[in-house]
Structure 1
C-alpha cells in the first residue's frame, strides 16, 4: 500500500516576537549579557550591541564596521540628553514612548540622528496635531530645519488655506524675503489679491528701513488682473510704497492703459515685464460657481431667489433673496460680483420701471444697492467686458422699445450714455469679445424676427449692422467659448457657433426641444443651460426645470438633473469665490 502523503504544518507563534522583546528588555534592566554602555550627562545606559544594531542603521554602521566605536565598551552621545536617550532606548526595547511638547523637538532631533525613522515620523504626527494658523509658518520653518517633508506638507497646506488668519500672525512678519515671496506666489494660496497686497505692505511696515526696497519684487507677486479696478487705482496706486517704486508705478500705468484703451494686449515700455504678470491665472483655491437668479418661478410670481449649484454634491443651495421682485431685469457678472439691473417692479399696486441696480458677492452673501442707471428700462440686455457693464435697449418708462445704450464704469462707479443701436430690437442674443459687442437677431415692434447682426466697436463708440439670413433667434442667450459665440435656441432647437473672424456660422448638436426664455453660462469650458420655456406639439408652451450641459469638444448634450422649480426669464451667471462659505438659507 502507498504511504499517505505527509502534510506540512506551518506554525506561527504570534507572541514570540513580543515576548522576545520583553525578555531582552528584562535582561537589559538586570544588566545581563549587556556589552555596551551608552553615555550622556554622566549617565550610563547598559544595552546589547545586537539589539541596537538590529534597530538602527546608525548603530549597525557603528558596531559592524571598522569604526573605533566597534571596539569600545562605552559610547558617548553628548549631543543627546540622558533623559531623551533613556526614552529612546526604552522605545527600542518596548516599542513604547510618550511624546509631549516639552520633549518633542529634542526627541525628533535624536531620532533623526540615530536614524529611527518611525519615531521621527511619530514626532512629526504629534506636531501636525498641534498645527494652527498661529504656528503653521513656524512649523514650516521647523520642518525645513528638521528636513521633515510630512510636517512641511501639512503646515504649508494649513498656511495656504488659512491665509486670512496667517497673514495677521506675528510669524508672517518674521519671514525672510525669499520665504514670503515663496508663500505669496503659490498658486494654492487661498486669498484674494487685495489681501495679498495688504499682507506684503504689513510685512514691509514691520521693518521699513531694511524692507522698503523689496516692494517691487513683492508687488510682482500680486496678480493685478484679478483685483477690482477701483481698489487698484484708488487705493494701491496711491499707496506711498507703490509711488516710491518706479517699477510698481509702471506696472499700474500698464494696467491703466489697458483698461482705458479697452484692449486685450499689453502695450508700452513695460510690456515685456508686464505680460507674464497680467496673464497669471487665478489661484488654485478659487472656484467658479454657477448661480441662477430671478426669473418667473413656476409661472407664478417673479422670483426673488438666488441659487448656487454645488458641484461637490450636485445640489442647489439658496443664497440671500433679492430685495425686490423684478420682472424682466437683466443679470450680469463683473469682478465676481453679480448685478441685477433695472426691471419692472411687480410688488406694488402700480408697476414701475426701475433704474435700480442690486449687487451681491459670494464673499458676503448680502445684497446692496449700486449706482443706478441713467434711464429706467426692462426686457433689456446686459453684458460685461473688462471693467465695463453695457446695458442695451429694452423697454423704457413709457413701455416703448428703445435703442439707447449706456455703460457702467466700475473704475469710477458711474454710468454714461454711449452710441445707440442702429435698430431697436427686443430679446436678442448678446455677447462681447475682441473689443466688440455682438447683438444677434431679436424681434421688432411687431414681434417679427429680425435677421441682422449689430456690432458695437467699444474703442470707437460706433455701431455697424449687417444682414444675415442664418440669424433667426428670439429670447435666446449667447456665450463665448473657444473664441466662438454660441447662440442657444430661441424658438428653435438650433445651437449655432459664430466664428467672429470668418463671419461664419457653424451648426452644432441640436437642443432636445424648441427652447426660449432660458439662460446660459460657461463653466469649466462647458456650456450650461438652465430653465426656459419649450414648445411641444400643436404649439403648446411649457415651462422647464431642465439643467443641461453642452461639451464643445464632443458636440454632445448631457442632462445635469433639474432646477428646484420651473423657471424662465432668469439669469445664469458664473461667479468666482475663494471658498464655499456663503450662509445657507
Structure 2
C-alpha cells in the first residue's frame, strides 16, 4: 500500500453521549447498579454516585472527600422537597426540566445548593421572561437574595427603561434611600425630569416622618435645567415639601435668578454648591429627533403633515397632522415642544393672517392651541433662546412689511412687545447665540437684497446694525454650531459660516444647486438640510425633496436620501424626547 495514502481517521460518535445518558437513566429507573439513595420527605430516590459526582461539584465534594456521606448508602438532604429533588435528578439524567412559576423559586434554590449552574441560569431565564414594570423591582430584590446577576441586570434594565410605569408601582415606595438615589442620579434613567421630581415626592409621602429629611439630597438629583419653566415655578417651587426645605428653596431661587438675568454672568456668580447641579449633562436616554412640519407640498397646497426621521431605520414616520393649513408660518422648538406660530390660514373661504400658536410634543403626539401672538403675521421669522421665543417681522393683514418684534415668555405664558428691528426685511437668515439674535440679509419692500447684519442684544432689548458686502442671502436658513452661524444658500449655492467672536465670515463647501426656501436644523453637531426650491441649469425653479447633511469638521455634504414628498417653506427642527417614550402615529 502506498504510504502517502495512509491517513488518521478521527471518528466522533455524536449519539454516544446522549445514548449513554439515556441508558443510565433507564438503569436508574429500574434501580440497577444504583449505589446511593437521596432522601427527602420520607422519599428515597436511587442514583448512581458516579453520575452525581460527574454532574455536580457539590456531590463531588460529598462523595470524593473524607465526609461521612462517602460511607453512607442513604443521604438525607435538608432544604429541598422530594418533588423538587426528583426534578433535579431527572434533569441530571436527561438534561430536561419543565419550569413553571409555582416551582421556579425552590428549583432555583436547589440548583444553587447542588451547584447546577446551567439549571440555575435556566430558572433565571424563565424569570426574565416574566419581567414587567409591575414586578421588576421585586425581581431585583429576589435576584439579590438568590445572588443571581443575570436576573438582576435584566430587571434593573427594565426598571430603568420603564421608569415612568415603575414609579407608579407600590414597590418603588419600598426602596431604601440609597436605592432610590441610585436610580435618580443614573444617566441611563428613561424618564423626564418632571417624572424624577414626582417620584421623589411620592417616595417621601409614603413615610413622611422618617423620610422628610431626605428631600434636599433627593432634590439635587433632579436636573432642573431640563424642566419646563412653567412646571418648575408653578408646581415644583410651590410644593409644600420644597417650601419646607431651606436648601431646596435656595436652589429654586438660584434657578429663578439665572433665568431672569438672561446674562451668562449669572452663571459665573452662581453659588458653588449650585453650579454642579445646573451644569450637569442631560441623561443619555434623551435623544434628539429631526422633525419636518408644514410647508408647501408638491407645489399643490399648504401641508398639514408633520414627519419625524427615525435614524435607526433611516425612514420617515408620520406624526399627528396640524389642525389647520398655515401658509408661511414660523416654526421653532423650546423645552422639547414644537411651536407653529402665525401664518396665513388657507383652509377657509377667506384667508386670514393668524395670531395662532400650536404646539406638539413627541410624548403625546397631539397638537394643542397655545397663547396667541399679539399681532397677526405670516412670512415672519422665529427663534428660541433660553426660555424665550422671539418672533420677528413678516407681513401683516395689509401685507405690509413689519419691523415689529414680540417675545413669548414660557415662564409666565405671555407675549410682550420688544424693540423693533432697525430695518424691516423679508426672508432673512436668523439665529441666536451668546445672548444675541443675528439677522442676516433678506430683502426689503422693493424686493432688493439687503446687505446688512442686524443684531439684537437680548438682555438689553437693543438693536445694532453692521453693513457687510458678504451678506446677500434671501430665503436662506441659518443654524448654530459651536458659536458659528451657518447660512445655507438663499438663491445661491454659497454656504458661509459667521464667526461671532472674530466677526468674520468663513467660506464652506458649496451646495450642488442654487437653493432657497429650504430649512435647516442641527442634530448631533451635524447640519441637516431639507427640501426647498432650486434653480436648475436652465434657470427654471423646481421644488425639491432633497435631504442632506453637512459635517463642519470635514466640510463635506452627504446625501441622506429624500423626503417622502417635495416640500418648501416648511420647518425643519430638532425635538428632544426620552427614548422609547414618544408616541408613534
**Does the C-alpha gap of structure 1 residues 68 and 169 become closer, same or farther in structure 2, counting only changes over 3 Å?**
same
| Residue of structure 2 in register with 1:242 after alignment | 242
Change (3 A) 1:219 1:461: same
Does the 8 A contact of 1:495 with 1:509 survive in 2?
yes
- Map Cα deviations across residues 220-254 of structure 1 (whole Å, 9 max, x no partner): 22221111110010001100111111221122112
CA shift, 1:562, in A, is 1.3
The structural deviation recorded for 1:437 is 0.8
Distance 1:38 1:218 in 2: 53
How far 1:358 sits from its partner (Å)? 1.4
- Residue in structure 2 matched with residue 311 of structure 1 by the alignment: 311
More divergent stretch after superposition (315-324 vs 415-424): 315-324
Q: Distance in 1 between matches of 2:565 and 2:28?
A: 76
Q: Distance in 1 between matches of 2:66 and 2:555?
A: 72
| Offset, 1:317 | 2.3
Q: Which residue of 2 aligns with 1:398?
A: 398
Structure 2 vs 1, CA of residues 40 and 286 (structure 1 numbering), >3 Å: closer, same or farther?
same
> Which residue is equivalent to 2:98?
98
Contact kept, 8 Å, 2:38 with 2:44, in 1: the verdict is: yes
Worse-superposed segment, 204-213 or 301-310: 301-310
Query: For residues 267 and 577 of structure 1, do their structure 2 counterparts lie closer, same or farther at Cα, with a shift above 3 Å needed?
Result: closer
C-alpha deviation, 1:31, in angstroms: 4.0
Q: Is the alpha carbon distance of 1:571 and 1:271 closer, same or farther for their aligned partners in structure 2, counting shifts above 3 Å?
A: same
Unaligned runs of 5+ in 2: none
Q: Which residues of 2 match residues 40-189 of structure 1 at below 5 A?
A: 40-189=40-189
Matches within 5 A, 1:557-568: 557-568=557-568
* Cα offset, 1:75, TM superposition: 3.9
Residues 296-315 of structure 1 deviation map (CA, whole Å, 9 limit, x = unaligned): 22222222222222222222
Measured against aligned partners, the alpha-carbon deviations of 1:159-204 in whole angstroms (never above 9, x if no partner) come to: 2222232221111111111222222222232222212211221111
| Number of aligned residue pairs | 584
CA positional deviation for 1:69: 4.2
- CA distances 1:395-434 after superposition (whole Å, capped 9, x unpaired): 2232222211110001110001111112211111111111
Quick one: structure 1 residues 22 and 265, their matched pair in 2 at CA, closer, same or farther if it must change by over 3 Å?
farther
Give 1:574 deviation, angstroms. 0.8
Q: Name the CA distance, whole Å, in 1 between partners of 2:80 and 2:2.
A: 68
Q: CA RMSD in A?
A: 2.1
Shift of 1:487: 0.8
Q: Mean Cα displacement is larger for which, 184-193 or 249-258? A: 184-193
**Greater shift in the superposed pair: 316-325 or 410-419:** 316-325
What is the CA distance between 1:9 and its match in structure 2?
4.4
**3-state DSSP of counterpart to 1:108:** helix
Equivalent pair of 1:494/1:510 in contact (CA under 8 Å): yes
Note the C-alpha offset of 1:582.
2.9
Other-structure match for 1:528:
528
Partner residue, 1:382 = 382
Q: Cα offset for 1:4?
A: 8.5
Kept in 1, the 8 Å contact 2:36–2:74? The answer is: yes
Equivalent residue number for residue 484 of structure 1: 484
Mapped partners of 2:356, 2:97: distance in 1: 68
Separation of aligned partners in 2, 1:3 and 1:463: 98
Q: CA deviation at 1:581?
A: 4.5
**1:582 — aligned with what?**
583
Q: Deviations over 1:529-564 (max 9, x none)?
A: 111111223532222111111111211111111112
Identify the residue that residue 556 of structure 2 maps to in structure 1.
556
Structure 1 unpaired stretches of 5+: none
SS of structure 2 residue aligned to 1:522: strand
SS of equivalent residue, structure 1 residue 156? helix
**Mapped contact 1:543–1:566 kept (Cα < 8 A):** yes
What secondary structure does 1:432 align onto? strand
Q: Which residue of 1 aligns with 2:458?
A: 458
Q: Deviation of residue 351 (structure 1)?
A: 2.9
Comparing 539-548 with 67-76, greater Cα deviation is found at: 67-76
In structure 1, C-alpha distance between the alignment counterparts of 2:217 and 2:564, rounded to whole Å: 49
TM-score (norm 2): 0.95
Q: Which residue of 2 aligns with 1:210?
A: 210
2: distance between equivalents of 1:272 and 1:74? 71
Query: What residue is the counterpart of 2:12 in the other structure?
Result: 12
Change beyond 3 A, Cα 1:349–1:7: closer
Q: TM-score, normalised by structure 1?
A: 0.95
Structure-2 separation of matches of 1:423 and 1:3: 100
